[in-house]
Structure 1
Amino acid sequence: MNYFFNRLSLKVKLISLICLVFILSVIAQNIYIIHVVNDEYLNLSRQRTENIATIISTSDSIIETLQNPTANNLDFIQNYTEQARTFAQVDYIVIFNMQGIRYSHPNKDKIGQLIVGGDEQRALQGESYTSIAKGTLGDAIRAFSPIYNKQQQQIGAVLVGQTLQKINHLVARTSQPIWLSLIASLAIAILLASLLSRNIKKILYGLEPLEMAQLFEERDAIIRTVKEGIVVINREGCITQINNEARRILRIEGKKENIIGQQIADVIPNTRLYEVMMTGIAEYDCEQNINGVVILTNRTPLFVNDSLVGAIASFRDMTEVRSLAENLTGVNRYADALRSQSHEFNNKLHVIYGLAFNNNKQELIDYLEEIIGNKQAESNIISQAIKDPIVAGFLNSKFSRARELGVSLSFNVSGILAPIPDSQVTHSLVTIFGNLIDNGLDAVQFLDNKQIQVNLSINEEAFIFEVNDNGEGISEKDMQHIFKKGFSTKGDNRGIGLYLVVASIDELNGHIQLCDQINKKGTCFKVSLPLKQLYRGKNCHGRRTDC
């Protein structure tokens, strides 16, 4: 049975359902109406027979003739009651004496006989009332009224009857238009159901319910299995869809059913999904930190038939992506550092070769001592304070790059930075140091007096990194945009460095600011990173080296 019903088309289902509901409701309504009409006819008949019985029982002519029941008077009574019956449109009017003998009846053969029905005794006792009883003409509503003479002595009674058969006939005639309206309404309902099903199928692109269910299951399976987090909101900013990957990436607790219907701002703060929906402007490839997780997200408004209905966000966990990107960035910076050192050493080797070839022994010794002494001094500055070999080696490489550009680079270090166990944190530091120092080198490379001062401070709580240069500085109008992705004053296809710096700092829960440069040219960036984030919960502080 269920299989047969499921195989029916949407049109047949709608027509069947609407017709069934309509027929049942109209039939019930008509039965109720017929019942009300029948009760109304009974009440009207009861009231009319009572009124007619009262009028006839108080008629002076009836009272006078009933006191003297001669043949002429009995004919008068019969003629009077028949005229009254025809005028009042009742089935019979019977006048009988105190012994229950009829003096009038529509059937003259019944005159002189005892009244039947068994409900006349109360009338002979002086009571006016109505009843339903079976007389000679069948079941009827019977109204009784006693007749009194001028001395207030009861001399008989009058019975006015309306058969139930006639009442039922009137009810049937009244219900005919109702049943005809039912048939007409049913035909209209079938037509409207057909039009409605056609319109619904048009809205549903001609799909049947089974096809829609299959599409829904396929869509749900796709959303569950994709490796991107997906979140959908409606016009009110409530979540209508969220897959397991999104909950896993964003570390959202609770069942999916408990999340659906909640405000996006309450579940996932700072998503900008609601803003994208309100503005109607899509945002692509945006990095964002949500609940401590860095994601790469695309946010687009949802339109259905050119109407804005919500917005959708798809995103990936940036841990692996950023790790790869930072590895590539680190490799590029390591390669650049090695290139600078290689270039510097090649130059020095050429000098050493020339001095050795010309047998300038003393000059060669002096030159080597100078090189070794400078290298040792530079290395001591970094290695005594920075115990992480990657960070220390990278910072030492910047001396070679500075000498290559003719820039005076100096480091001022206080405190001790222990080795960092997490390679991702190390790559983040390389990204931060490399971009800020390289920006300083770019800012001063065309000056006569090229100076960069780097201050490193490690205390119990934070690692503070400060880069000062004596370049042209940053204009006030550019200060609002320097950390935005793609913004650069150096030309097109730039503006990534400071954006990566801010992203790396955000991941480490640190902050960056432009230092005040009162009456001083150049630019100063100050970065503060909490040590507990650098060591990912390990009990390591700036003055320890045993982590």
Structure 2
Amino acid sequence: MKIPHLKLGTKIAMLSFLLVLLSVFLAGVIIVNRISDKMEQEIGYRAMAIARTVAQLSEVQENLSGFEGSKMIQPLAERIRLATGVEYIVIFDMEKIRYSHPYLDRIGTVFNDGDEELSLQRKEYLSQAVGVVGPSIRAFVPVLADEGTRQVGVVAVGILVPTIREIVGAIRVELYSSILIGLALGGLGSFYLASNIKKNMFSLEPSQIARMLEERVAIFQAMDDGVVALDMENRITVINEKACRIAGTSEKAVGCPLQEFPAFTALSDFLETHDPAESTELILNNTWVLVDFLPIRVKEQVVGRVVTLKEKTEVRKMAEELTGVKTFIEALRVQNHESLNTLHTIAGLIQLDKADQAMEYIYRVTEEQQEVTKFLSSKIMYPNVAGLLLGKYNRGKELKVDVLFDPDSRLSELPEGFDSNTLTIILGNLLENAMEAVVGSKISEVHCRIKHEHHQLILSVEDTGPGISLANQAQMYQWGFSTKGNGNRGIGLSLVKQTVDLLGGTIEMETGKWGTRFGVRIPLSGIRS
């Protein structure tokens, strides 16, 4: 027989109702048993008191062992039995011969029920037994004559014990009404609980929730970006495989504070010192990553944040946009601007009938541009680096800054695994900072040198600006620190420092009233890709 598939709400309601039913049933059984035990205790006290009273009667003590003593004892015992409402009062001598009994034919016979032996040894006690009139509790009390020095017999008083059915019958109204009220309240509570649980589960069945969870986990793990979810105390609540790979950790990190993992040190330090409202670039486990932050909101309340990690390829794309593509566009704009100025100058000289000066000016401008282009194309074998330097040269001309390249500069083939784009990050930011530092100075020059020396690459950028103050030197590598105002500032030197550290190199700075020089040394052996 096929078992029908029940919905979660129905299962919860049925289970809760069965539990309530079982609880009410057990409670009823316990209550009836407690009532039965209490009644038996009270019956025992009552039987013992009556037996003691009868045993103290002089008529019983004097006639118990005498001839035809039953004629005196039987009427007395019957009067007491009828007055007290007990089932029977049996009095027997030391030979167990009955002197009284509710049934007259039992008088003179031997009392031999098996539980009377201790009473013949001057002991009083209660006993449960099935007598001739049914199950009863009976009290055995010895009869002592001669002021308690001699036992002459025993008084046994029996009171019938009510059965469970009789007890239930006596309290059936109260018991049944309590059970019905309990079941009604339990049923209503069960259906309310089932409805509330179903509501909190968005009216979804467990199988639907399981399928959705499997789908979400599969999507989450298949993401090309690393994802780490944090609570308000920066404990990891969720982490996918890509993030584990980037950080060199495992999914066992869930529930642990972020700062416990060395790979996340840079991220933890950043969260402690910055308000993560925008994207940033960090080195995690020797890997360049672009980090984005998104708040987690539950019912309009922020309960944590999601951190997405993009690997080096995404960072490279960003770096190329900042120092490559934009530089080429800027170079074209500057070149166009310079070309217009050159054409205006030539046109003016021609209009002034100074053709010789116009020809000389054309030769000079053309020669200067050709020399720089020829120098960079012959000395720098990487087009992206050469294009960057040419762009900065043209940018300097627009800012009235002389960008000078050391004649000994040379960039030949780099080791396998060395990414030339990292040089555009270093040189692009150092040259841009240097040009901004000398704008408006009496001598506006920026000197650049690139050289191979003893298995290392040496980069040098020197300007003739006012120098860097001691106060600013302590903070110049911090992310977001800038002396040029707010906005997208304070990124260049921090990016340079992180890139140099990633390549295993060193960066030195000399400054004074004469200007500032940044020297970068990058080892060409053991390059980390």
* Band the TM-score falls in, shorter-chain normalisation: 0.7 to 0.9
Q: 1:205 to 1:60 in 2, by over 3 A?
A: same
Residue number among 143, 146, 149 corresponding to 1:147 in the alignment:
143
1:324 aligns with 2:324: no
Q: 1:413 to 1:64 in 2, by over 3 A?
A: farther
SS at 1:528 equivalent: strand
Q: 1:407 to 1:217 in 2, by over 3 A?
A: closer
Moved more, 448-457 or 189-198: 448-457
Residue in 1 aligned with 2:7? 8
1:159 aligns with 2:153: no
Residue in 1 aligned with 2:166? 169
Q: 1:442 to 1:9 in 2, by over 3 A?
A: closer
1:435 aligns with 2:429: yes
- Residues 99-153 of structure 1, C-alpha deviations (whole Å, 9 max, x = no match): 5443323345644555463544554565544433332202223332332332844
Whole-angstrom distance in 1 between the partners of 2:492 and 2:276: 24
Whole-angstrom distance in 2 between the partners of 1:406 and 1:259: 55
Residue number among 435, 445, 451 corresponding to 2:445 in the alignment:
451
Residue number among 528, 535, 547 corresponding to 2:527 in the alignment:
535
The correspondence of residues 245-256 of structure 1 with structure 2, limited to 5 A, is: 245-248=242-245, 250-254=246-250, 256=251
Residue in 2 aligned with 1:24? 22
Which amino acid letter does the alignment assign opposite residue 17 of structure 1?
L
Residue in 2 aligned with 1:137? 133
Q: 1:89 to 1:466 in 2, by over 3 A?
A: farther
* Alignment TM-score, normalising by the size of structure 2: 0.75
Moved more, 237-246 or 117-126: 117-126
Residue number among 171, 187, 191 corresponding to 2:188 in the alignment:
191
Contact 1:458-1:464 within 8 A present in 2 as well: yes
Q: 1:226 to 1:465 in 2, by over 3 A?
A: same
Whole-angstrom distance in 1 between the partners of 2:243 and 2:451: 39
SS at 2:100 equivalent: coil
Which amino acid letter does the alignment assign opposite residue 241 of structure 2?
N
Which amino acid letter does the alignment assign opposite residue 535 of structure 1?
I
TM-aligned CA deviation for residue 63 of structure 1: 0.8
SS at 1:526 equivalent: strand
TM-aligned CA deviation for residue 429 of structure 1: 0.7
Residue in 1 aligned with 2:308? 314
Residue number among 230, 235, 240 corresponding to 2:237 in the alignment:
240
Residue in 1 aligned with 2:202? 205
Contact 1:133-1:141 within 8 A present in 2 as well: yes
Residue in 2 aligned with 1:544? none
SS at 1:471 equivalent: coil
- Residues 194-238 of structure 1, C-alpha deviations (whole Å, 9 max, x = no match): 222333333333334344333323322321233222222335543
Q: 1:406 to 1:271 in 2, by over 3 A?
A: closer
Q: 1:22 to 1:166 in 2, by over 3 A?
A: closer
Contact 2:247-2:264 within 8 A present in 1 as well: no
The correspondence of residues 257-296 of structure 1 with structure 2, limited to 5 A, is: 258-267=252-261, 268-270=263-265, 272=267, 283-296=277-290
Contact 1:131-1:143 within 8 A present in 2 as well: yes
Residue in 2 aligned with 1:229? 226
Moved more, 480-489 or 287-296: 480-489
Whole-angstrom distance in 2 between the partners of 1:526 and 1:464: 11
**What is the RMSD of the two structures over their aligned residues, measured on CA atoms?**
4.9
Which amino acid letter does the alignment assign opposite residue 322 of structure 1?
V
Q: 1:282 to 1:492 in 2, by over 3 A?
A: closer
- Residues 25-61 of structure 1, C-alpha deviations (whole Å, 9 max, x = no match): 4434543454454444444444543443334223323
The correspondence of residues 445-484 of structure 1 with structure 2, limited to 5 A, is: 445-454=439-448, 463-473=457-467, 480=475, 484=479
Residue in 1 aligned with 2:57? 59
List runs of 5+ in structure 1 lacking aligned partners: 538-547
Contact 2:86-2:159 within 8 A present in 1 as well: yes
Contact 1:414-1:458 within 8 A present in 2 as well: no
Contact 1:123-1:144 within 8 A present in 2 as well: yes
Whole-angstrom distance in 2 between the partners of 1:209 and 1:442: 63
Q: 1:77 to 1:320 in 2, by over 3 A?
A: same
TM-aligned CA deviation for residue 241 of structure 1: 1.8
Q: 1:81 to 1:167 in 2, by over 3 A?
A: farther
Which amino acid letter does the alignment assign opposite residue 240 of structure 1?
T
Q: 1:359 to 1:185 in 2, by over 3 A?
A: closer
Moved more, 485-494 or 200-209: 485-494
Q: 1:27 to 1:225 in 2, by over 3 A?
A: same
Q: 1:34 to 1:167 in 2, by over 3 A?
A: closer
TM-aligned CA deviation for residue 190 of structure 1: 1.8
Whole-angstrom distance in 1 between the partners of 2:131 and 2:328: 121
The percent identity for this pair of structures is 29
Residue in 2 aligned with 1:95? 91
Contact 1:143-1:159 within 8 A present in 2 as well: yes
Whole-angstrom distance in 2 between the partners of 1:158 and 1:168: 30
* Alignment TM-score, normalising by the size of structure 1: 0.73
TM-aligned CA deviation for residue 87 of structure 1: 5.6
Contact 1:116-1:135 within 8 A present in 2 as well: no
Whole-angstrom distance in 2 between the partners of 1:438 and 1:236: 39
Contact 2:74-2:101 within 8 A present in 1 as well: yes
Which amino acid letter does the alignment assign opposite residue 22 of structure 1?
V
Q: 1:468 to 1:94 in 2, by over 3 A?
A: same
Whole-angstrom distance in 1 between the partners of 2:120 and 2:436: 130
TM-aligned CA deviation for residue 252 of structure 1: 2.8
Which amino acid letter does the alignment assign opposite residue 303 of structure 1?
R
- Residues 162-217 of structure 1, C-alpha deviations (whole Å, 9 max, x = no match): 22346873476468745643432222122222222333333333334344333323
TM-aligned CA deviation for residue 278 of structure 1: 12
Contact 2:142-2:153 within 8 A present in 1 as well: yes
1:298 aligns with 2:292: yes
Contact 1:463-1:530 within 8 A present in 2 as well: yes
Contact 2:457-2:524 within 8 A present in 1 as well: no
Whole-angstrom distance in 2 between the partners of 1:472 and 1:422: 40
- Residues 342-376 of structure 1, C-alpha deviations (whole Å, 9 max, x = no match): 979x989x99xx9xxx999xx99xx89x969x959
